[in-house]
């Protein structure tokens, strides 16, 4: 307390002590004079006997102070004064650091929310996912009888719960029909996750009794769904929502931000798990639920206190074989039984939940974080060289301070305080930049990937703050060490003398090394950015074998009961005709699998009658007119017609390369094929051969493809996509298209996108990598240019006397300019020489993420090197011009 008071009363304390000491000395002098000394003698003696006044004051003050804090405050004040005095330098330094730290923090927060953050439920660390799967098959699930038997025999969980999730179904709410994310959950799902309702109540155990034949038809709405469909009205309780035409009564709304067992997907409508069969019109609910081999559930358990994941795994694996045996289904083929008996339990921690984003973007994010780290390194080196230049110009100040008794450690601490202050300011700016950046990035990714709105939790948690603070401190040490090392001259005299030396040395060596390092690092980033951009360019230039431009894709969904008593072929034929006749529509067709689908449909095809395993090819299921609409050329044979129905012989169309590979010598037309082992896909005749195309993944050109017509397979007809070739803008067509589809009374248009958008979405990872790495490379290049400019400008200032002498001795302006420019270019070339091998080595690491370019693509390397040289020349040009225009007289008179 006393010491705090003394800080506030600091000035008063100083003056009081000074007054006291002065009085002491004056009295002593008076006394001595009285006893016969001369005044001068008396004063000298008084001071001698008193001792060092400054030291006395300092030691008196120290009694009240905590020294390190006092020093820190002093250094801080000093730094702030310096920052105010050089606003330009401060702005550049803080902005540089903000961008560098911000980019790292933004990427780290994305990684954090995808990878490190636990689910926002109570005690996520206790959650364990349990599922059965055939080894090597990634998707694991449980049937309801499996869940019940495991739950009955397990000793490690306090409870088990299950859900059936992430199905997009037709939901009619508040009079509007939409495709929504519907989940079905066990009665204890919400309570086990520790969820509470926003209004009303959540699904409870009594709502989903597993043995009852009459499930409760109730629904809980997600918060966002409630907001968007009911405007957040509180009287929504008791209203009816129809899922696939089946009415459910709304009993409550989940809280905002509740995403259940996934980190990023909030269920829009949740129903009891026992109601799931209702959605598919299955009348005998119990029969559906009891199927022992239908692994439709995802399940999790909550560990009892003190039980580890390993113990849980051991116990569950010990009870699994008898459960599996007791559930082995009747009346199955030996192959199917063998498959069932090979089911293994997969037991893993469920604390982080599962997410599609994680699996898709983890690798690009890691690479980008590494790139951002290098950008920060470049920023550090840049600042180090700027601070170094400043430190050199402050060597006089430092020398004086050493002469006055400041210790070397004290000066180093002062310099580190300076760099720390800068990096902390940068970290603050960086946090703001990161919070914007990570949000923008995630909304970009999510907008492109998900049908339903998804929100990642990107709020700052301790990990992000720790990451940012750690980065800032590391940064400060990185760019603070060099100047502080330089700024602590062992010999104060030399430092003071040095400043008055008339002809300065050449550009300082340490500064040169830093600039070269910076150029080399920038080159690495430029090469990576360049390769990613070239990849994207190559992907955009790919000819997929069909005309993507002007193609629209509409997903059609049935109205409730829309497919009842439907005559598929005549209905779609009429729809196709009506759409084709709309103004602006060049051509239209209906497809099932094909362009714009995220999942590649592949099957095995072999020549009928051969025992070979067959060859894996892409498969597209379509209706007549598709090939024309896609612009795929018919080479020989015929296209599908509406007369190809399930009474006529089954026909297929194959791509040229498929025909060439299967029938290298014979004519493919008329040949018979077997596709997989499906009975209805046997003995299919090749009716036509078309030009090759890559329908699904444009990264894979010339994929052997087989086309089938849905008109021959009734159960493939529903939920199609409408493919439209148009010459007008999609926006102008949307209204007429929707009206035409609905006019037939069976389906409605769910979503419209262009095929180009859909293709763009398939190269999302490449777009993300290219966008961000190009941005970072640009940033690094800018920093390198600033650094180079700063160094050369500083060098010209230092050498102005030398330059003045040269000019006075007759050096021409152009030769002075060239002297500076040559030095700049030499530095750039040195950086290039060191950077190129490093860049090639680094590019090798990202080779698997590239398309169409090799990691040591000479064109990219050449272009990037020239760019770097050009920018370096530009950065050197300004100081060179200043050197050229130096007035020799003024330069020599300076100082």
Tell me which residues touch another protein (CB under 8 A). 2, 16-17, 19-21, 23-24, 26-28, 30-31, 49-53, 55-57, 59-60, 62-64, 405
Nearest to 757 by CA among 553, 557, 585: 553
- Minimum gap (Å) between residue 838 Cβ and another protein: 49
User: Shortest approach of another protein to residue 52 CB, angstroms?
Assistant: 5
Burial class (CB in 10 A: 0-12, 13-18, 19+), 454: buried
Residue nearer to another protein on the CB measure, 30 or 577 = 30
In whole angstroms, the minimum distance from the beta carbon of 2 to another protein comes to: 6
* Residue partners of 835: CB distance under 8 A and separation at least 6: 519, 520, 521, 522, 523, 524
Q: How far apart are CA 865 and CA 527, in angstroms?
A: 9
CB of 59 to another protein, least distance (A): 4
Q: Please check whether residue 171 is in contact with residue 248, taking contact to mean a CB–CB distance below 8 angstroms.
A: no
Helix (H) or strand (E) segment spanning residue 347:
strand 344-349
- Min dist CB 40 to another protein, Å, is 19
Residue 21 CB, shortest distance to another protein, in Å, is: 7
Which CB, 69 or 134, lies closer to another protein? 69
Cβ atoms within 10 Å, residue 366? 13
Cβ contacts of residue 490 below 8 Å, gap of 6+? 408
Give the nearer residue to another protein in terms of CB position, either 34 or 895: 34
Least Cβ distance, residue 400 to another protein (angstroms): 16
In terms of Cα–Cα distance, which of 302, 273, 295, 296 is closest to 285? 273
Q: How many CA atoms lie within 13 A of 13 on its CB side?
A: 18
Q: How far is the CB of 37 from another protein (least distance, A)?
A: 16
Neighbouring C-alpha atoms within 13 Å toward the C-beta of 271: 27
Judged by beta carbon, residue 7 or residue 775, the one nearer another protein is 7
Q: Which is nearer to another protein, 27 or 676 (CB)?
A: 27
Coil vs helix vs strand at 787: helix
Are 521 and 395 in contact by the 8 Å Cβ rule? The answer is: no
CA 651, 653, 657, 660: dihedral to nearest 10 degrees? 40
Tokens in use for 818?
């060239």
| Shortest distance, position 485 Cβ to another protein, whole Å | 24
Tokens of 320: 């699994």
Nearer to another protein, 60 or 765 (CB): 60
Taking the least distance from each CB to another protein, the nearer of 16 and 451 is: 16
Q: Which of these, 402, 408, 380, lies nearest to 485 by C-alpha position?
A: 408
Exposed, middle or buried, 337 (CB in 10 Å: 0-12/13-18/19+)? Answer: middle
Nearer to another protein, 20 or 719 (CB): 20
Residue 24 vs 578, nearer CB to another protein: 24
Closest approach, Cβ 27 to another protein, in A, equals 5
Write down the least CB distance from residue 1 to another protein, Å. Answer: 11
Q: Cβ of residue 798: shortest distance to another protein, in angstroms?
A: 33
* Closer residue to another protein in complex, CB, 20/284: 20
Contact predicate 558/871, CB 8 Å: no
564: DSSP letter: T
Residue closer to another protein (CB basis): 24 or 606: 24
Q: What angle do CA 362, 364, 367 make, to 5 degrees?
A: 110
Among 523, 531, 529, smallest CA distance to 865 is for 523
19 vs 348 by CB, closer to another protein:
19
Stated as kind and residue range, the H or E segment containing 748 is: strand 747-754
Q: Which of 651, 656, 654, 668 is nearest to 709 (CA)?
A: 651
- Nearest CB to another protein, comparing residues 59 and 739: 59
Nearest distance, CB of residue 111 and another protein, angstroms:
52
Cα separation, 252 vs 267, in Å, equals: 13
């Amino acid at each position: 307390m006393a010491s705090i008071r003394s800080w506030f009363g600091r000035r008063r304390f100083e003056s009081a002590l000074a007054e006291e000491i002065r009085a002491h000395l004056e009295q002593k002098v008076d006394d001595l004079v009285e006893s016969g000394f001369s005044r001068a003698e008396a004063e000298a003696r008084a001071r001698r006997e008193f001792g060092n006044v400054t030291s006395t004051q300092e030691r008196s003050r120290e009694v009240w102070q905590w020294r390190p804090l006092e020093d820190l405050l002093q250094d801080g004040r000093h730094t702030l004064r310096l920052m105010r005095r050089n606003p330009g330098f401060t702005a550049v330094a803080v902005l540089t650091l903000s961008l560098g730290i911000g980019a790292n923090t933004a990427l780290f927060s994305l990684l954090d929310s995808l990878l490190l953050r636990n689910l926002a439920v109570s005690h996520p660390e206790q959650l364990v996912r349990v599922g059965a799967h055939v080894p090597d098959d990634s998707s694991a699930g449980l049937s309801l009888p499996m869940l019940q038997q495991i739950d009955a025999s397990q000793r490690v969980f306090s409870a088990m719960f299950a859900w059936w999730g992430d199905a997009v179904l037709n939901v009619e709410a508040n009079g509007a029909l939409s495709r929504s994310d519907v989940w079905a959950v066990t009665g204890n799902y919400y309570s086990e996750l520790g969820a509470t309702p926003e209004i009303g109540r959540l699904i409870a155990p009594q709502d989903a009794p597993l043995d009852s034949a009459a499930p409760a038809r109730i629904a809980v709405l997600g918060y966002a769904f409630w907001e968007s469909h009911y405007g957040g009205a509180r009287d929504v309780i008791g209203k009816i929502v129809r899922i696939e035409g089946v009415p459910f009564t709304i009993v409550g709304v989940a809280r905002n931000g509740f995403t259940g067992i996934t980190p990023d997907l909030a269920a829009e409508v949740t129903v009891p798990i026992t109601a799931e069969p209702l959605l598919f019109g299955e009348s005998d609910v119990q029969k559906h639920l009891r199927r022992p081999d239908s692994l439709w559930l995802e399940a999790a358990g909550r560990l009892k206190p003190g039980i580890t994941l390993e113990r849980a795994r051991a116990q569950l694996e010990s009870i699994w074989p008898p459960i599996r045996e007791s559930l082995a289904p009747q009346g199955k083929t030996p192959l199917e039984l063998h498959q069932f008996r090979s089911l293994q339990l997969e037991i893993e921690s469920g604390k982080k939940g599962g997410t599609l984003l994680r699996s898709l973007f983890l690798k690009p994010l890691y690479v980008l974080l590494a790139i951002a780290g290098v950008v920060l390194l470049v920023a550090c080196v840049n600042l180090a060289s700027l601070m170094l230049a400043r430190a050199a110009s402050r060597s006089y100040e430092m020398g004086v301070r050493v002469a006055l008794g400041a210790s070397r450690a004290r000066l180093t601490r002062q310099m580190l305080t300076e760099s720390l202050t800068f990096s902390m300011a940068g970290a603050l700016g960086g946090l703001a930049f990161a919070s914007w950046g990570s949000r923008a990035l995630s909304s970009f990714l999510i907008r492109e990937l998900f049908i339903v709105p998804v929100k990642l939790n990107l709020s700052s948690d301790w990990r992000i703050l720790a990451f940012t603070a750690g980065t800032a401190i590391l940064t400060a040490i990185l760019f603070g060490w060099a100047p502080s090392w330089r700024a602590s001259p062992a010999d104060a005299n030399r430092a003071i003398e040095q400043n008055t030396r008339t002809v300065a040395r050449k550009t300082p060596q340490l500064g040169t090394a830093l600039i070269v390092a910076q150029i080399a690092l920038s080159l690495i980033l430029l090469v990576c950015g360049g390769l990613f951009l070239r990849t994207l360019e190559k992907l955009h230039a790919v000819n997929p074998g069909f005309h993507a431009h002007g193609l629209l894709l509409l997903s059609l969904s049935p109205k409730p009961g829309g497919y009842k008593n439907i005559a598929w072929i005549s209905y779609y034929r009429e729809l196709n005709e009506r759409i084709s006749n709309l103004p602006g529509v060049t051509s239209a067709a209906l497809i099932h699998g094909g362009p714009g689908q995220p999942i590649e449909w592949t099957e095995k095809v072999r020549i009928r009658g051969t025992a070979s395993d067959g060859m894996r090819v892409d498969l597209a299921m379509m209706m007549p007119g598709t090939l024309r609409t896609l612009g795929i050329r018919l080479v020989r044979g015929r296209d599908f017609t509406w007369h190809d129905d399930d009474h006529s012989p089954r026909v297929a169309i194959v791509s040229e390369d498929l025909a060439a590979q299967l029938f290298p010598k014979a004519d493919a037309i008329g040949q018979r094929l077997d596709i997989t082992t499906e009975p209805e896909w046997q003995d299919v005749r090749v009716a036509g051969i078309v030009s090759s195309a890559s329908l699904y993944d444009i990264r894979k050109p010339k994929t052997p493809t087989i086309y089938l017509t849905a008109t021959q397979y009734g159960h493939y007809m529903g939920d199609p996509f409408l493919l439209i070739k148009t010459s007008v803008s999609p926006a102008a067509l949307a209204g007429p298209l929707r009206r035409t589809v609905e006019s037939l009374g069976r389906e409605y248009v769910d979503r419209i996108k262009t095929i180009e958008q859909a293709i763009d979405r398939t190269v999302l990872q490449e777009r993300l990598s290219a966008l961000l790495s190009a941005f970072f490379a640009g940033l690094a290049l800018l920093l390198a240019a600033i650094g180079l400019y700063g160094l050369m400008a500083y060098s010209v200032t230092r050498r102005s006397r030398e330059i003045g002498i040269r000019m006075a001795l007759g050096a021409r302006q152009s030769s002075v300019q060239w002297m500076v420019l040559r030095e700049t270019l030499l530095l750039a070339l040195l950086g290039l020489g060191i950077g190129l091998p490093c860049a090639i080595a680094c590019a090798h690491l990202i080779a698997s993420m590239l398309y169409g370019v090799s990691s040591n693509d000479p064109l990219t390397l050449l272009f990037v090197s020239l760019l770097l040289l050009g920018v370096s020349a530009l950065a050197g040009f300004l100081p060179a011009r200043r050197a050229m225009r130096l007035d020799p007289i003024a330069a020599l008179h300076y100082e």
